[in-house]
Amino acid sequence: MADLWLQFVLTIDATLRVATPLILCAMAGLFSERSGIIDISLEGKMLMSAFAAASMAALTGSPLLGLAGGILVSVALSLIHGFACVTHKGNQVISGLAINILASGLTVTLGIALFAQGGQTPFLNKSERFTDIVLPFAEQAEHVPVLGTIYKEIISGHNLLVWVALFSVIVTGYVVFRTTFGLRLRAVGEKPEAVDSAGGSVSGLRFQAVIIAGVLCGIAGTYLSTAHGAGFIREMAAGKGYIALAALIFGKWRPVPALLACLMFGFMEALAARLQGVEIPVIGNISTDLILVLPYFLTVILLAGFIGKASPPRSIGVPYIKER
């Protein structure tokens, strides 16, 4: 019983760690999609920045420089996306797809050229990574029943970027719904001509949105390779960008519901990891593959309008073309 409780608490703890890149990417997607730009390139940006961050950290020994590198590269990809979708009014889905495929290829190609380790970066040691921050009294708290366990296992012992991710939700909520920039951002995703005729710049706003998305994806990628993991390996984003996209849709393009969706999806993943190959009394061996598919499945069900209704920003995916 006690072990079961501990298991549960630990799964929640793992949920936070697993959900961190999802949260960051979902917030990134929120900025981009609220401004009317579909962003399926979350995956590629995250992958590319994971690579850049790990390379930078390996070469300089500093995780902070790694973070800077990760963000920089991710923003660069965002700018490509913006150039294609905003400046040249290209198809946003195609552009995103191109970036994802490009990132898959480029990371390995550059990785081999830089480190000659089959596309991986060298193993990062502790000083080259963001390591866990143990909060004060965590050890002592262990002896306090329930709350102590929660404090020690769930709240304490996360690295900086986990906190950054949670904080990003608050910031996103504030910026998008409580500032004038957010008002314009949402307006430009709903009805760009309204912003244009009100004297705002549609392109400017959309570029700002994709750049913010780039920064957040950059942090997510950095988390993967230099905080949660210890180095880059090929395809390390492993579909997390798409799960984040699903979470964003599931959260109906709102920060807190999107956060909850990320946590739910993260929980499924954490749970699935723990159940892999484990015989459960009565039920037997659960197929974890089927647990892992739940996020996608639920999103399809949601989109089909069977549970609530998710209506995207009205002008999403439509380039703003004034003169034909």
Ligand X SMILES: Nc1ncnc2c1ncn2[C@@H]1O[C@H](COP(=O)(O)OP(=O)(O)OP(=O)(O)O)[C@@H](O)[C@H]1O
Segment 295-324, which members bind ligand X (CB under 6 A)? 323-324
Nearest CA-CA partner of 269 in 14, 6, 5: 14
| Cα–Cα distance measured from residue 95 to residue 74, given in angstroms and rounded to the nearest whole number | 15
Q: Per rule CB under 6 A, is residue 197 in the interface with ligand X? A: no
| Cα–Cα distance measured from residue 36 to residue 185, given in angstroms and rounded to the nearest whole number | 9
Q: Least Å distance between CB 230 and other proteins?
A: 4
Q: Least Å distance between CB 196 and ligand X?
A: 13
Select the binding partner of residue 103 from other proteins, ligand X, none (C-beta < 5 to 8 A, by kind). other proteins
| Cα–Cα distance measured from residue 223 to residue 116, given in angstroms and rounded to the nearest whole number | 23
Select the binding partner of residue 187 from other proteins, ligand X, none (C-beta < 5 to 8 A, by kind). other proteins
Question: CA 114 → CA 111, 153, 161, 284, 303, distances in Å?
Answer: 5, 38, 26, 47, 43
Tell me which stretch binds other proteins (CB under 8 A): 28-36, 52-60, 67-75, 297-305.
Answer: 297-305
| Cα–Cα distance measured from residue 124 to residue 126, given in angstroms and rounded to the nearest whole number | 7
Phi then psi for residue 304, to 5 deg, are: -80, 0
Q: Per rule CB under 8 A, is residue 257 in the interface with other proteins? A: no
Q: Least Å distance between CB 77 and other proteins?
A: 11
Which CB atom, from 126 or from 322, has the smaller least distance to ligand X? 322
Q: Least Å distance between CB 87 and ligand X?
A: 19
Name the token pair of 177. 């719904």
Q: Per rule CB under 8 A, is residue 148 in the interface with other proteins? A: no
* Residue 121: partners with Cβ closer than 8 Å, 6 or more residues away: 51, 54, 55, 58, 111, 114, 115, 225, 231, 232
Tell me which stretch binds other proteins (CB under 8 A): 58-66, 84-92, 212-220, 255-263.
Answer: 84-92
Q: Per rule CB under 8 A, is residue 56 in the interface with other proteins? A: no
174 SS3 class: helix
Q: Per rule CB under 8 A, is residue 95 in the interface with other proteins? A: yes
| Residue in this structure with the two tokens 């993967």, named with its chain if needed | 224
Select the binding partner of residue 33 from other proteins, ligand X, none (C-beta < 5 to 8 A, by kind). none
Select the binding partner of residue 140 from ligand X, other proteins, none (C-beta < 5 to 8 A, by kind). none
Q: Per rule CB under 8 A, is residue 234 in the interface with other proteins? A: yes
280 SS3 class: strand
Q: Which residues bind ligand X (CB under 6 A)?
A: 323-324
